[in-house]
Amino acid sequence: MSELTATRTIVVTNESGIHARAATLVAELVRRFDSKVVLVKDRERVEGTDVLQILSLGAGRGNELSLEATGHDAERVLNALVQLFDENFSEEDGEVEDCEAENKQ
């Protein structure tokens, strides 16, 4: 029996792109599944469990990424990743500014 392979294309909409916290969230989410996940930007392919590799993509707002998964839960892991990206890594638009304003007080 061959392994299931699934692919999704997403556009990074987060204002800060994929920064350290976002890359960590991606890697942690991927590690919860059995499938192998690869993120692709242009021709660069990186492992979905490696925070530094994810950061090395330099994916900013508006960049298109392909998410590829291979394994029995490929569809599930990609659905979870798409949701994470759609929610902008649980960041609100003004969250950074709010934190900076609090630190100035």
Catalytic residues: 19
Question: What Å distances lie between residue 101 and 14, 92, 95, 104, CA to CA?
Answer: 20, 15, 10, 5
Give CA–CA dist 69/81, Å, rounded: 11
Polymer length of the chain: 105
Q: Are 35 and 17 in contact (CB under 8 A)?
A: no
